[in-house]
Amino acid sequence: MGLGEEKRLSGTAAMVMFATLLSRITGFLRNVAIRNIMLPKGYSDEFILAFSLPDLVFELLVGGAIAAAIIPILASSISKNDEKEGWKAIGTFINITILAVIFLELVFFIWTPSFLRLTAKGFKPTTDEFLLTVKLTRILLPSAFFMILAGLFNGVLNAYQKFAAVAFGPVIYNLCVVSSIFLFGGKSVEVTAFGVMFSSMIYFSIQFIAAFKYLKLYRLRMYISNRTFKKLLRLALPALAASAIVYVNQIVGGSFSSEFAENSVTMMNNANRTWQLPLGVFAQAMGVAILPTLSTHYASKRAEEYKHVLYKGLRTVMLLCIPSTMILIMLNREIMQILFKWGPMTAHESGMYGLALLAYAPALLFQSIVVILNRAFYSIQNTRTPLMISACTIGLNILANIYFVRNTDLGAIGTALAFVITDMLYVFALVFLFTWKTGLDLIPDNFHFLAKVSVCTIAAGFVLWVSTLIIPFPWEESFTVGKKVTEILSVGARLIFPLAAFIATALALKLDEMREFISSLLVRFRGHTAK
């Protein structure tokens, strides 16, 4: 890979990471608003569970297909100067998806109560909570149509390596949703749901405008017998099933959570979203950035360039996610209190929020590797392997949830542990099978890197432990703006010295990735200074 391409890839990854960070922050504002505005009104669990079926529609129809089939097929066609052929396949897929989403939404709309007995098994069918969840689900279902079309346009833009609208579109969507919650969340949950649906229409409009000039070859026709479409379908169907299975695993956790104390669904959802913040900023952003390049290198049979890009992506993600996992584990309660305490919060509640994050924290590392390796499988146009592995995880996840519910007193926290165990085994299977299929020795080739990062993380963890003993954290149950500032400053002060220890240890161990990371920051800083 040439120096120019590497700089372009790094710049794209940095831009996507920044946009994803903004998206995750605005997504957090949504969860904070739900906890502090809707939870006191008593309908936060119902509002969160109402997203289950609309999100499932998205995962069933386009979720995994965007990364697994649309981007590789269209990117490969563009690189081979056969764009028209690629668009016959992509256009056919879009047309079929539109028909399928209309049909599926009608099915879910008519039989909403039956499906919700599975996704909200803790709510009895005759209760007000269940009936409200049914009503909210039916309001939100049409939003899936707009999100699906927006997702398809995202895939098109990624294939043309145009990332700005794809990256920043979710930020605008989240801001619209947050505005709906702030304006209506304390007054009417039904009106809030309509606000969410309107937000999805705005998001669709942004992606459509950005992708419009690349749709010149799109036709309202079905090329069912087209060779490229058949290839796309072979890639898409397993990926859709795998993506749906991953989401079903999340539904399983939410469904089991609904069996426990009131607001358990909200608590576990907030903890789940918290560890996913660095996942989205680091791993998912990197996956978006490297997939078109990996697909192009594989199509052009440039094996060394392919290996270089994949290893760079994996190592960058692990360099960021391993120490982040350590921070989530050691500062679990402080992080959750800073993020979600914007009103009165008892010591018991903040402690339970912290335990939920502690249980979920290891998933950050495991899921980060899953994200990159799934993209690697997609880039070699192999979607069946991730499907087979993920199909096994759903049964394992259910069994683990049943075990923790019946044999422990962990309550809803057990659903997080079940998810982490499932994710860990998922990673081991992906690493083994990708090595077997490609001949790339993922573990031996990256062992020294992992060892060095682990040493750096242990050193930083020790310094963080000392910092927590020296720097106090305010645990008062009441809320004031001054106390919130003190909380943030306390955690910020605790993290300064561990960060310095991590960087110093990495440089002492001659960790090349850290040197490159610092060098790129210095280059960008000098460039901005020169301007």
Q: What pLDDT is attached to residue 75?
A: 79
Helices marked H in 258-302 — which ranges?
264-278, 285-299
Q: What pLDDT is attached to residue 12?
A: 64
Q: What pLDDT is attached to residue 254?
A: 61
Q: What pLDDT is attached to residue 247?
A: 67
Cβ proximity of 49 and 119 under 8 Å: yes
* DSSP reduced 3-state for 474: coil
Here the contacts of 291-295 (C-beta below 8 Å, separation 24 or greater) are: 291/67, 291/71, 291/72, 291/158, 291/375, 291/378, 291/379, 292/71, 292/75, 292/158, 292/159, 292/161, 293/5, 293/9, 294/375, 294/376, 294/379, 295/71, 295/72, 295/75, 295/76, 295/378, 295/379
Q: What pLDDT is attached to residue 129?
A: 82
pTM of the model: 0.69
Rounded CA Rg of the chain:
23
Question: C-alpha 97: how far from its chain's center?
Answer: 23
SS (H, E, C) 374-397: HHHHHHCCCCHHHHHHHHHHHHHH
C-alpha neighbours within 13 Å on the C-beta side of residue 315? 24
Task: Tell me which DSSP letter residue 472 carries.
Answer: -
Q: What pLDDT is attached to residue 325?
A: 94
Length of the chain: 531
Residue identified by tokens 């432990």 is 465
Q: What pLDDT is attached to residue 383?
A: 75
CA–CA separation, 436 and 327 (whole Å):
34
CA–CA separation, 228 and 216 (whole Å):
18
What is the identity of the amino acid at 351? G
Nearest to 142 by CA among 191, 101, 93: 101
Cβ proximity of 208 and 63 under 8 Å: no
Question: C-alpha 306: how far from its chain's center?
Answer: 24
Angle at the Cα of 522 (from 520 to 524), degrees rounded to 5? 70
Per-residue pLDDT of the chain (531 residues; tens, 9 = 90+): 555 555 566 666 667 667 777 877 887 788 778 777 876 677 777 888 888 788 777 766 666 566 667 777 887 788 778 888 889 988 998 898 889 889 989 998 999 888 888 767 667 777 888 888 889 999 999 998 998 888 888 888 878 877 777 778 888 888 998 899 888 888 888 999 999 999 999 999 988 998 898 888 888 888 888 888 888 887 777 766 766 676 676 666 666 666 655 567 778 878 888 888 788 777 776 776 777 778 778 877 888 888 888 998 899 889 989 999 999 999 999 999 888 887 777 788 888 889 999 999 999 999 899 889 988 887 887 878 887 888 788 788 888 888 887 788 787 888 889 889 998 998 999 999 999 988 888 889 989 999 999 999 999 999 999 999 999 998 877 777 788 889 999 999 999 999 999 999 999 998 887 877 777 666 655 554 555
Cβ proximity of 47 and 38 under 8 Å: yes
Helix-, strand-, coil-residue percentages of the chain, each rounded to 5? 85, 0, 15
- Tokens at 284, concatenated: 């998912």
